[in-house]
Amino acid sequence: MMYRFILDEDDYLSHQLFTASGSANHRKTMIRTWLMGVLFFLIISLVSYLSDYTKLTNYVLIMAAVFFVYFPLRYPSFVKRSYQKHLREHYKNKFGVASEVEFKEGFLICNSNGMESKIKLSEFEEVNETATHILVKVRSGESLIVPKAMDDIEQFKQELVGNLEGYHIPWHKKLDWKWN
């Protein structure tokens, strides 16, 4: 059966944020940036303390404390805005384009924007299901984003599960996932 859906900016953004949230590299970057910022303020406060600028030292220490608390709260929205800008710049021609997917003889065939992709089901690495999307990760690094707003989503899920049965591909249900 042929399944049709249209991806918008929010679909691509959800995929990017979901991928980032599971990335150890992303987490390391956040922690490193957080610690470097605090360290920066502490070094400035040490220099001002050694120079007998106690008022400046106090202000900088307060700024370090504010940064220490505030950064983890604001970082997710900063990352989200950054991904939105990236998507608007590089994926703007993909928003609102109708896509079709179909299962045929061990392949998933995707048609979109006059292009056709044929992916072996054995090349699927994992399937992640969130409350709003089914995200199929392919070994080549690409992904298939299927919005759950699609009309035949239950039938698509059944057909996907049935076709992946012999391949031992993990299906992760993360229905409560949301970007911080």
**CATH classification of 2-9+93-173, choosing from 3.20.80.10, 3.20.20.370, 2.30.29.30, 3.40.50.300?**
2.30.29.30
pLDDT digits (tens, 9 = 90+) for 22-36: 889 999 999 999 999
- For residue 98, the model assigns a pLDDT of 92
pLDDT digits (tens, 9 = 90+) for 52-79: 888 999 999 999 999 999 999 999 999 9
Question: Which pair of tokens denotes residue 176?
Answer: 């409560």
Q: What are the structural domain ranges in the chain?
A: 2-9+93-173, 11-90
Question: Which pair of tokens denotes residue 34?
Answer: 């957080």
CA dihedral of residues 77, 81, 86, 92 (deg, nearest 10): 120
Q: How many C-beta neighbours within 10 Å does residue 42 have?
A: 14
Phi, psi values for residue 139, rounded to 5°: -60, -25
- For residue 31, the model assigns a pLDDT of 94
Q: In sequence order, which residues have a C-beta less than 8 Å from that of residue 169 and are 6 or more positions away?
A: 121, 124, 125, 126, 127
Q: In sequence order, which residues have a C-beta less than 8 Å from that of residue 107 and are 6 or more positions away?
A: 118, 119, 120, 121
Burial of 170 (0-12, 13-18, 19+ CB in 10 A): exposed
- For residue 119, the model assigns a pLDDT of 94
What is Dmax (Cα atoms) for the chain? 77
- For residue 172, the model assigns a pLDDT of 95
- For residue 117, the model assigns a pLDDT of 92
Q: What residue ranges of the chain have pLDDT lower than 50? A: none
Residues 119-143 as b/e (b if ≥16 CB within 10 A, e otherwise) read bebeebeebbbbeebbbbbbeeeeb
